[in-house]
A = this chain, B = another copy of it.
């Protein structure tokens, strides 16, 4: 699929990595299990796993931040206390968190012989609410989907309505998984979002009020709702306190796309470093800028990648209208002439 970048959109002034995805951070891969069925109960849901090599025996440094806490990320208290991540990061639907946690425990036991013998594990499982498109009962995801998402992990990051993104809606359009990357000096910063937030009228793409200008497009979910989980990865040897600060900046990227962090929204962010050596002093401002820009682009990419989806009770989440958006971006000089 094409991308707005291929059409000339440049968000911010930093360069992306070759894939412009979180997989530009060496060692980071993403796997999806998408659950789509119509009986029993309409399922447009799934599981996404972000794999960076963290295990209980060999954890990675990490930090978390919460902009609005109307959501869930299991393990976040432990990441905050210890500054380390011990498992992959799993994304799924709200009422499926328990099953994915259960499957993630089983996967951790398989991956690391110490788990369950010398120690236990609290996996990181985060959620958004996809119940506008996907009937949340019965819960469609099963525990084994966690392990399947790990097996599917690849450095080619599928985006849009896949995995945990299958049933998500953002800014009244079909949302889901998005990803982008930026260079911060010699280091790479990659971002993956599960975008399920925002009101149509607030959507901005690179500053252009696309949502307000596309006023007559058929509208999904009328009331503000939803959440946005953001995972930031870097290969730089940041310490956990710095990673917590990086995580906090994800909210600034969301703000640029039109987020006001609704009451009912879970804006929960995790940043991790794949570097296992000692923490290095680095120009943290470069990481902040890279995170904000990449988060903004990842949300836009989720919207651009997602396709129109019919869900529960015939509800339709329309894809972003590509042609109309390109025209607006050109009229506002964000692509073509600048």
Kindly list chain B residues whose C-beta atoms are within 8 Å of the C-beta of A125. Answer: 98
A interface secondary structure, majority: mixed
In the complex, are the beta carbons of B241 and A260 less than 8 A apart?
A: no
A255 part of interface (Cβ distance < 8 Å): yes
A 64-93 to B, binary, CB cutoff 8 A, 1 in contact else 0: 001111111111111011110000000001
Determine the distance from Cα of A289 to Cα of B83 in the docked complex, in whole angstroms: 21
Contact of A105 among B139, B207, B260 (CB under 8 A): B139
The answer to whether B260 touches A292, judged by C-beta atoms less than 8 angstroms apart, is: yes
Contacts of A99 in B (CB 8 A): 98, 102
B residues within 8 A CB of A2?
none
Shortest distance from the beta carbon of A142 to any chain B beta carbon, whole Å: 10
The answer to whether A129 and B137 have CB atoms under 8 Å apart is: no
B240 touches A260 (CB 8 A): no
Partner of A71, one of B122, B266, B333: B122
Instruction: Give bound CA distance, A16 to B12, whole Å.
Output: 30
The one of B209, B212, B251 in contact with A255, judged by C-beta atoms closer than 8 angstroms, is B251
Q: Which residue of B lies closest to A94 (CB)?
A: B120
- List CB contacts (< 8 Å) of A91-108 with chain B: 93-95, 97-105
A325 interface hit (Cβ, 8 Å): no
- Would you list which residues of chain A between 223 and 265 have a CB under 8 Å from chain B? 224, 239-241, 245, 248-249, 251-256, 259-263
Q: How large is the interface on A (under 10, 10 to 19, 20 to 34, 35 or more residues)?
A: 35 or more
Cβ of A288 within 8 Å of any chain B Cβ, yes or no, is yes
B285 and A260 within 8 A (CB): yes
The reply to whether the CB of A143 lies closer than 8 angstroms to some CB of chain B is yes
- Decide: B251 and A252 in contact? CB cutoff 8 A: yes
- How far apart are the CA atoms of A98 and B30 in the complex, in Å? 22
Q: Which residues of B contact A101 (CB under 8 A)?
A: 97-98, 101
Binding site for B on A (CB under 8 A): 13, 66-78, 80-83, 93-95, 97-105, 109, 115-116, 119-122, 125, 127, 129, 131, 135-137, 139, 143, 201-202, 204, 206-209, 212, 224, 239-241, 245, 248-249, 251-256, 259-263, 266, 268, 278-279, 284-285, 288-289, 291-292, 331-333
